[in-house]
Structure 1
Amino acid sequence: MTTTPSTTSLLTLPESHRLATLARRLRLYKPPPPGQTDRQQQHEKPDCSETVVGRRLETTTESLHRRPNRARAAVLVCLLEGSGHGSDLRVLLTKRASTLSAYPGEVSLPGGKREDGDADDVATALREAKEEIGLDPSLVEVVTVLQPFVTKIGMTVVPVVGILSDKNAYRPAPNPAEVEAVFDAPLEMFLQDENRRVEEREWMGDKYLLHHFDYQTADKKYGIFALTAGILIRTASIVYQRPPAFAELCPKFWHS
């Protein structure tokens, strides 16, 4: 798909614009060390000595690159503004094709496995978004990378947060072999208790909760759950700088 270059970017937006302000703040975000959550990081007194900072960076790097590329994936958390003045902040989502062998028909973030030609996780997320939904990388300004999630089978999934400042420049073009639909949902929804269901699970003796969010458009209903919901709860908590209005109780293996 050929996309007309955007004439709007975060650099051309006024400094007071919400997306520009959000971008500046998210660029300063640093994911917590492995085994520590964002809230633990906020409440602990940081040790900023050169030795400790160096050790943390080394530990994080080792954790991020411990697994081979074939066991590593990245997803794009693409944020944009809704329509109208004072509209909400939204996130791009997809409904996977029903013909796929893995997770058919489920809602997910654009993304997939890292390939040998990908320079890093950002490259993976942007490449996959272009292949799946026709989102040109030039339209997205990546502002941060969040703490990786690890699935039960040992796949490391890295959330890459980007901002689509000119949503009118993007015309969804889903790849029918992979994606049935492209839609956007309000990000703040993932901090609210409305339209949420919860399922209690257990893994290796540890109990945890899987959250299910129901989202209704004019003519369709989508269910957003499991890892995708977990990533969006984490993203919304960071963006809105507050915890969800419910007990989260994430699986421990997500951040092992």
Structure 2
Amino acid sequence: MNRAGCKMEIPALSAMFHPETAESETTSTRHVWKYYSINSLSARSPGLPRARPSGATAPLLRATSSFRQTDRQQPETLDSSETGAGQGSEIAPESLRRRPRSTRAAVLICLFEGGSGGGGEGDLRVLLTKRASTLSAHPGEVSLPGGKREEGDADDIATALREAKEEIGLDPSLVEVVTVLQPFVTKIGITVVPVVGILADKNAYHPATNPAEVEAIFNAPLEMFLHDENRRAEEREWMGDKYLLHRFDYQTADKKYEIFALTAGILIRTASVVYQRPPAFAERCPKFWHS
């Protein structure tokens, strides 16, 4: 548990090295961290594609180096366990591992530097969508690009990238996947896997909404999910477990969005790892998220 009341550990940056290649905290190690690149991180992540850091700036590289081995879940292939647990990863309980693949989904946390809203250098932002009002599930709500696993998807990364292309026209070749975070589990038993990717060249991406699924595409600063401003929370209860449902308000030039529930929880988790600190508020996330 972190001090905010959730099952989450925020790692020290030096802990991200694999045990077999770890160095002591020497001048040499600090030098490695200072110049750590997306490419070297991907090389240390078996199963993840090697990154092509062309155009990546210092803030993106620093964000990438905030993830360590115990935060990276191996992407689940069709014949692997539900958690994809490997050396140094957290093993999910038997109830989660036994869930059928039809109840598994993945979302893409696509990070880039700057963007609409006046974000400058060092302002890491995340792509978000407002779901179409005609959808039967969660119409009009803000979400991350993503959806349920399909039979042709090789793993969780493939699911997240495919869904992002279908929903918002994001070409997978533009995204450098750097980590797969610990899954979240919804009330109805859907396992949601957060896949973190870097969009180094945001000018190469030309947003294109799929009107059947997405009403709008926007982006928000990642760090806002650690701040208490523009946030409110309400207490909920599920099977005797009392928790807080967080809601973040975000205003663009012409629209106001509300980011809440699981989407907010995933972004709180991501921001905590990237910025190496817990949120400025009591989180009290539901136990079933990591049951």
Common fold by TM > 0.5: yes
List structure 1 segments (4+ residues) > 4 angstroms apart after TM superposition.
53-58, 60-65
Cα deviation, residue 85, structure 1: 4.5
Which secondary structure does the structure 2 equivalent of 1:181 belong to? strand
Number of equivalences:
227
Could you list the per-position Cα deviations for residues 192-237 of structure 1 after superposition, in whole angstroms to 9, with x for gaps in the alignment? 0000010100011110000000000111000000000000000000
Equivalent AA in structure 2 for residue 74 of structure 1: A
Percent of paired sites with the same residue: 76
- Is the Cα contact below 8 Å between 2:69 and 2:89 reproduced in 1? no
Q: Indicate yes or no: 2:223 matched with 1:191.
A: no
Provide the C-alpha distance between the structure 1 equivalents of 2:89 and 2:69, rounded to a whole number of angstroms.
14
Q: Indicate yes or no: 2:109 matched with 1:77.
A: yes
Corresponding residue for residue 158 of structure 1: 193
Cα deviation, residue 68, structure 1: 1.6
Cα RMSD (Å) = 2.3
Q: Which runs of 5+ in 2 are unaligned?
A: 1-50, 74-84
Q: Which runs of 5+ in 1 are unaligned?
A: 1-8, 34-52
Provide the C-alpha distance between the structure 2 equivalents of 1:71 and 1:191, rounded to a whole number of angstroms.
29
Label 1:120 to 1:150 Cα distance change in 2 as closer, same or farther (>3 A).
same
Provide the C-alpha distance between the structure 2 equivalents of 1:133 and 1:10, rounded to a whole number of angstroms.
22
The correspondence for 2:283, drawn from 234, 241, 248, is 248
Provide the C-alpha distance between the structure 2 equivalents of 1:185 and 1:156, rounded to a whole number of angstroms.
25
- Is the Cα contact below 8 Å between 1:98 and 1:180 reproduced in 2? yes
Which secondary structure does the structure 1 equivalent of 2:62 belong to? helix
Provide the C-alpha distance between the structure 1 equivalents of 2:217 and 2:255, rounded to a whole number of angstroms.
12
Please, what TM-score do these two structures have when normalized by structure 2? Answer: 0.73
Equivalent AA in structure 2 for residue 71 of structure 1: T
Could you list the per-position Cα deviations for residues 32-89 of structure 1 after superposition, in whole angstroms to 9, with x for gaps in the alignment? 89xxxxxxxxxxxxxxxxxxx9787594496764322210000000001114642410
- Is the Cα contact below 8 Å between 1:10 and 1:19 reproduced in 2? no
Equivalent AA in structure 2 for residue 22 of structure 1: A
Equivalent AA in structure 2 for residue 30 of structure 1: T
| 1:62-101 → structure 2 map (5 Å cutoff) | 65-83=97-115, 85-101=120-136
Label 1:189 to 1:119 Cα distance change in 2 as closer, same or farther (>3 A).
same
Provide the C-alpha distance between the structure 1 equivalents of 2:92 and 2:193, rounded to a whole number of angstroms.
13
Q: Indicate yes or no: 2:263 matched with 1:228.
A: yes
Please, what TM-score do these two structures have when normalized by structure 1? Answer: 0.82
| 1:79-228 → structure 2 map (5 Å cutoff) | 79-83=111-115, 85-228=120-263
The correspondence for 2:64, drawn from 10, 15, 23, is 23
